[in-house]
A and B are shown apart, each in its own frame.
Chain A
Amino acid sequence: MSVIRITADTMEQALREMGDVRVLVPSGAGRKGTYVELGPDKKLPRECGDHTKPSSPPKGIVFPNNERLLSYSLGVKGEISVKGADHSQKMTILYGTPPCDTASFRALDAALLKDIPEPGYARKRDNFGVVGMACGRQGRWCLCTSVGLSPRSTEGADIMVFPDGGDILVQRLTGKLDRLWKILEAGAKTVSDHELSSVAHKYDFKVENFAFTAEKLAGALEKGFESPYWKEFSERCVSCGICTFLCPTCHCFDIIDVPADELSGRRVRTWDTCQFPEFTGETSAHNPRKEKSTRQRQRVLHKFLYHYQNHGHMMCTGCGRCIRYCPVDINIAEGVMKLGGVK
């Protein structure tokens, strides 16, 4: 069986005793929150929801904002020597992410590992597992049920946890965290499918901030490419990177050279965003996305159309961060609904 019932304390003890593993947990909700290491003074989260969701997404653990790709050194006669970077990282377990953040790894895997894998992400992903948790409280900007997920969905999780009173039900979904699973499984009570579904059912509430189903609107979005609405939608956009840097699935990046001196330096990958005007600006001054309406269109359609066409699921996971933290109240759900003719 792959579902067991244990106490939350057993889980905490198991994670702490794993030794050479880095365990990351959300440190708090909102702007001040981030994902931090589970130190001795930190308690393992017992529940999760909008009230535990940090403004920073967990993507930075495997897809850092700043990562060295290679170091180079040049000789005075034009010789070049290049050393690739070591992208490996200590085994890391992310614990207690709400389903929206958990599902972000499904989207990132699809985007960054398919065909030719992105080397930095691929190496870090190898040593990284996610213990997702069912979400107990929706927030004002949540839209997971509109994008094909739900407060109990297990997409992207290696192990899923359903809090049930003081206990938790633990469901094994992949073999990635089997070391942890073996510790938990020893002496634990197995749980029937029936019991799992009755506990999971508690998390089946409908998130009703925005009444639409994204998959049904894909066709309308495709037709709405040249809609004048994009101009209205992006009119007050200030072209900052909040919506994309805080998005758990946005993964566009820039590659820059940082010279240390004339003859050596490093090549670095940093987060980039389609919202910056220079993102697609070519040296010849030609820029296919010069207007901010075209840039906002790229953001919305990439999430709700292009990724869906290429990988079969929405790139938006419905966490609502881009809506909540947008300084000028640009609402991606509202945009999709208007374009899709729902509203």
Chain B
Amino acid sequence: MTTEEFQPKIVAFICNWCTYAAADLAGVSRLQMPPNVLNVRVMCSGRINPMMVIRAFSQGADAVLVSGCHMGDCHYITGNYYARRRLLVLKSILTGLGIEPERFRVTWISAAEAQDYQRTITELVESVRKLGPLTMFKEGETVARESAGCVEG
């Protein structure tokens, strides 16, 4: 598979109050975007458990986007502040493990910023297309060696 043909699978967790509205507006405004993104609407970016991101990667996502309201605009006052801290720690870990930082993005897009949403998605898809599929978390069934830790080779 060449990189031109590679269609990345991207999971986007987006907050109900800002980014989802932005995505909605982008759709209504007919802004062109690559169709590789699976949007998951959540009530607040603060609801995103880091394990959801890890799970998304291990279940085959090539990139994950978490997007919420701008700092100070959270519908629940402080949800995105908590989200920012824990998700960026997660990003540091994932980057350290060798997952390119482009594959995990945390952004803040307000309900009016449909064009920002369009740009973020386009950039994300383009950069991941260049990187190719994620190889870090191989899907269980494709693992040839089923005997972890006992026999090498």
CB-CB under 8 A from A247, the residues of chain B are none
Q: Does B146 contact A (CB under 8 A)?
A: yes
Given the interface contacts A258-B140, A260-B141, A266-B141, does A60 sit within 8 Å of B152 by beta carbon? no
Which residues of A57-80 are within 8 A (CB) of B? Answer: 57-61, 64-68
In the bound assembly, the distance between CA atoms of A275 and B149 in angstroms comes to 19
Q: Does A95 contact B (CB under 8 A)?
A: no
CB-CB under 8 A from A258, the residues of chain B are 140
Inter-chain CB contacts under 8 Å: number = 48
CB-CB under 8 A from B153, the residues of chain A are 36-37, 39
Q: What residue of chain A has the Cβ atom nearest to residue B147's Cβ?
A: A64
Q: What residue of chain A has the Cβ atom nearest to residue B150's Cβ?
A: A60
User: Cβ of A27 and Cβ of B148 under 8 Å apart?
Assistant: no
**Max chain B C-beta neighbours (<10 A), residue from A66, A67, A260:** A66
User: Cβ of A66 and Cβ of B148 under 8 Å apart?
Assistant: yes
Q: Does B151 contact A (CB under 8 A)?
A: yes
Q: How large is the interface on A (under 10, 10 to 19, 20 to 34, 35 or more residues)?
A: 20 to 34
Q: Does A24 contact B (CB under 8 A)?
A: yes
**In terms of DSSP, what is the predominant structure of the interface of chain B?**
loop
Q: Does A230 contact B (CB under 8 A)?
A: no
CB-CB under 8 A from B146, the residues of chain A are 64-68
Min Cβ gap A177→B in Å is: 19
Q: Does A154 contact B (CB under 8 A)?
A: no
Q: Does A56 contact B (CB under 8 A)?
A: yes
CB-CB under 8 A from A68, the residues of chain B are 146
User: Cβ of A65 and Cβ of B152 under 8 Å apart?
Assistant: no
Which residues of B113-145 are within 8 A (CB) of A? Answer: 140-141
User: Cβ of A36 and Cβ of B148 under 8 Å apart?
Assistant: no
User: Cβ of A56 and Cβ of B141 under 8 Å apart?
Assistant: no
- Residue of B140, B149, B152 near A37 (CB, 8 A) is B152
Q: Does A162 contact B (CB under 8 A)?
A: no
Min Cβ gap A23→B in Å is: 10
Min Cβ gap A70→B in Å is: 13
In the bound assembly, the distance between CA atoms of A58 and B151 in angstroms comes to 8
Min Cβ gap B74→A in Å is: 34
Given the interface contacts A258-B140, A260-B141, A266-B141, does A66 sit within 8 Å of B147 by beta carbon? yes
User: Cβ of A60 and Cβ of B147 under 8 Å apart?
Assistant: yes
In the bound assembly, the distance between CA atoms of A288 and B141 in angstroms comes to 35
CB-CB under 8 A from A57, the residues of chain B are 150
User: Cβ of B149 and Cβ of A56 under 8 Å apart?
Assistant: yes
Min Cβ gap A65→B in Å is: 5
User: Cβ of B150 and Cβ of A64 under 8 Å apart?
Assistant: yes
User: Cβ of B141 and Cβ of A35 under 8 Å apart?
Assistant: no
Min Cβ gap B139→A in Å is: 8
Q: What residue of chain B has the Cβ atom nearest to residue A58's Cβ?
A: B150
Q: Does A34 contact B (CB under 8 A)?
A: yes
Min Cβ gap A112→B in Å is: 16
Min Cβ gap B26→A in Å is: 29
Q: What residue of chain A has the Cβ atom nearest to residue B146's Cβ?
A: A66
User: Cβ of A61 and Cβ of B152 under 8 Å apart?
Assistant: no
Q: What residue of chain B has the Cβ atom nearest to residue A92's Cβ?
A: B151
- Residue of A27, A36, A37, A65 near B147 (CB, 8 A) is A65
Which residues of A253-304 are within 8 A (CB) of B? Answer: 258, 260, 266
CB-CB under 8 A from A34, the residues of chain B are 149-152
Q: What residue of chain A has the Cβ atom nearest to residue B148's Cβ?
A: A65
In the bound assembly, the distance between CA atoms of A317 and B148 in angstroms comes to 23
In the bound assembly, the distance between CA atoms of A87 and B141 in angstroms comes to 15
User: Cβ of B150 and Cβ of A61 under 8 Å apart?
Assistant: yes
User: Cβ of A36 and Cβ of B141 under 8 Å apart?
Assistant: no
CB-CB under 8 A from B141, the residues of chain A are 260, 266
User: Cβ of B140 and Cβ of A60 under 8 Å apart?
Assistant: no
Q: What residue of chain A has the Cβ atom nearest to residue B139's Cβ?
A: A260
CB-CB under 8 A from A27, the residues of chain B are 152
Bitwise, A24-43 to B at CB < 8 A (1) or not (0) is 10010000001111010000
Given the interface contacts A258-B140, A260-B141, A266-B141, does A24 sit within 8 Å of B151 by beta carbon? yes
Lowest 8 CB-CB distances: which A-B pairs, in order? A60-B150, A37-B153, A64-B147, A36-B152, A66-B146, A60-B147, A65-B148, A36-B153
A-B contact pairs, 17 of them (CB 8 A): A27-B152, A34-B149, A34-B150, A35-B150, A36-B152, A36-B153, A37-B153, A56-B149, A56-B150, A57-B150, A60-B147, A61-B151, A64-B150, A66-B148, A67-B147, A68-B146, A266-B141
Which residues does B use to contact A, with CB under 8 Å?
A: 140-141, 146-153
* 13 further A-B pairs in the complex, CB-CB below 8 A; given A60-B147, A260-B140: A27-B152, A36-B151, A36-B152, A39-B153, A56-B149, A60-B151, A61-B151, A64-B150, A64-B151, A66-B148, A258-B140, A260-B141, A266-B140
